[in-house]
Amino acid sequence: MTIQNYINGQFQDPLENNWIDNYSPANGEIYGKIPSSTTTDVDAAYTAAKQAFPSWSKTTLETRSRILIKISELLEAHIQRFAAAESKDNGKPISLAKAVDIPRAASNFRFFGNAITQFASESHESVGQGAVNYTLRQPIGVVGCISPWNLPLYLFTWKIAPAIAAGNCVVAKPSEVTPMTAYLLGEICNEAGLPKGVLNIVHGLGTSTGQAIVEHKDIKAISFTGGTETGAHIARVAAPMFKKLSLELGGKNPNIIFADCDYNDMLNTTVRSSFANQGQICLCGSRIFVEASIYEQFKKDFVAKVSALKVGHPSEESTNIGALVSKSHLEKVMGYIAIAKEENGTILCGGNKVTVKGYENGYYLEPTVIEVTTDDCRVNQEEIFGPVVTIMPFTTEEEVLEMANKVKYGLSATLWTNNLKRTMQLSNQLQAGIVWVNTWMMRDLRTPFGGVKASGVGREGGFEALRFFTEAKNVCIKY
């Protein structure tokens, strides 16, 4: 299947007629081609966005809201088609795509369609001076949105929805590894009545297409989700151009388990938080620290549950662990398992490639649990981003807090305890943008989302996203 760029409301081939093969993770075979867009395509997308901006930025909030909610409704109406495309393109179980990814993409449009009608700014009376100050929140103009491959439509729409809700026009690039649902989104936008040029989608490599978006002198803001090294590169390019930046980057998230937790709830949730989407979620708890008094029991029970997970073809409803996204990523993850062995880590389960009958060339890997003896080993410090977790015991709150914070990342943390004092103290002291207590991945779209340290700059979600995609202007009137 050959897909096209979506520019000015129309689908078109790349202007220089360059293409990239698109692989199915489930069988390792080419099943389509996507544009390898260059600066010329990005320029065309920018021109369409620039032309659409004056009209779109003046469109009433009610009109914008109605269009975004219509997009949401159409995504829900086509959930089977989108879920099948997402599963085939990414390798994730279709059950996950149907239950989480596509519904969340629809929720993104519905949420920001409603949020923009409630978004308010502030005013201040200058008492004794006979003046009033008020703040305008004005759209930026043309903005760039670049999203990753792990949650393709979910995170693509997480950026696009607030950007267009706030009155901006967008040049967007999905990952070249998982372009399919972004391509299908163009059809939905046309059906929903989104004006031409408000959203433009260009496909291609990060080093060419993404670079062209970041370097474009008139694209005034960049919202990026992806790897920390790429985020650092974007910051270096964008900083001298004074672009607004939102960077949601990597994570190496601690999962801290105390003996006074609800054990069964913790165990079941920890399996999910470790291996959902083949561990290819930036929020997965990849470092598991367990209080020493329950460590041996946890190790036994956790390994048993992980070993029972079914690795299989993504299209099968019974599959728990699908295919990793690409051959190169599978090799990277396998490389870390080899490093763990070199560092004297103990492979408690998994660690091997899986051959699925009929799909022998697919990118399958057993969910892997590694027992480590020190928190500063590479597999405990570096982001693996696959179905691999480490476990080790701790004895005191002070010890586990030090280990949890001793990484360069600070995206999320999970804490399991029924001790209120401990909950309040550790939640305050953990160096993370998100702390979940006795749960994982429970999201409220009104809350700020993002990380600290090498996990990024800025926040997405709720009014934080609408603030990012607008410029604040103070007006002072003396009366």
Instruction: Encode pLDDT of 333-364 as tens digits.
Output: 999 999 999 999 999 999 999 999 999 999 99
Q: What is the mean pLDDT of residues 420-439?
A: 98
CATH T-level fold of 253-446? Aldehyde Dehydrogenase; Chain A, domain 2 (3.40.309)
Q: How far is CA 131 from CA 135, 274, 472, in A?
A: 14, 56, 19
Ordered DSSP codes for 321-335: B---S-HHHHHHHHH
In this structure, are residues 143 and 292 in contact, taking their beta carbons and an 8 Å threshold? no
Distance CA 225, CA 382 (A): 18
Ordered DSSP codes for 151-219: SHHHHHHHHHHHHHHTT-EEEEE--TTS-HHHHHHHHHHHHHTPPTTSEEE----IIIIIHHHHH-TT-
Query: What's the pLDDT at 32?
Result: 95
Q: What is the mean pLDDT of residues 45-57?
A: 98
Query: What's the pLDDT at 302?
Result: 98
Query: What's the pLDDT at 192?
Result: 98
Task: Reply yes or no on whether 248 is catalytic.
Answer: yes
Instruction: Encode pLDDT of 154-168 as tens digits.
Output: 999 999 999 999 999
List the strands of the sheet with 412-416, edge to edge.
346-349, 368-371, 388-394, 285-291, 253-257, 412-416, 434-437
H or E element that contains 237: helix 228-238
Q: What is the mean pLDDT of residues 317-341?
A: 98
- The proportion of the chain whose per-residue pLDDT surpasses 90, expressed as a percent, equals 100
Instruction: Encode pLDDT of 250-275 as tens digits.
Output: 999 999 999 999 999 999 999 999 99
Counting DSSP H helices and E strands in the chain, the numbers are: 16, 22
Query: What's the pLDDT at 324?
Result: 98
Query: What's the pLDDT at 215?
Result: 98
Distance CA 266, CA 119 (A): 37
Backbone angle region of 91, left / alpha / beta, with phi > 0 → left and psi within -120 to 50 → alpha? left
Q: Rounded mean pLDDT of the chain?
A: 98
Query: What's the pLDDT at 398?
Result: 98
Query: What's the pLDDT at 438?
Result: 98
Q: Check 248, 366, 371, 460 and give the catalytic one.
A: 248
**Domain 5-249+455-478 maps to which CATH number in 3.40.605.10, 3.40.50.300, 3.40.50.1820, 3.40.50.720?**
3.40.605.10
Distance CA 371, CA 346 (A): 5
Q: What is the mean pLDDT of residues 100-112?
A: 98
Instruction: Encode pLDDT of 182-199 as tens digits.
Output: 999 999 999 999 999 999
Query: What's the pLDDT at 440?
Result: 98
Length of the chain equals: 479
Q: What is the mean pLDDT of residues 323-327?
A: 98
Q: What is the mean pLDDT of residues 200-226?
A: 98
Q: What is the mean pLDDT of residues 79-101?
A: 98
Extents of the domains making up the chain: 5-249+455-478, 253-446
Confidence of residue 317 (pLDDT cuts 50, 70, 90): very high
Instruction: Encode pLDDT of 270-307 as tens digits.
Output: 999 999 999 999 999 999 999 999 999 999 999 999 99
5-249+455-478 and 253-446 agree in CATH topology: no
Strand, helix or coil for residue 404: helix
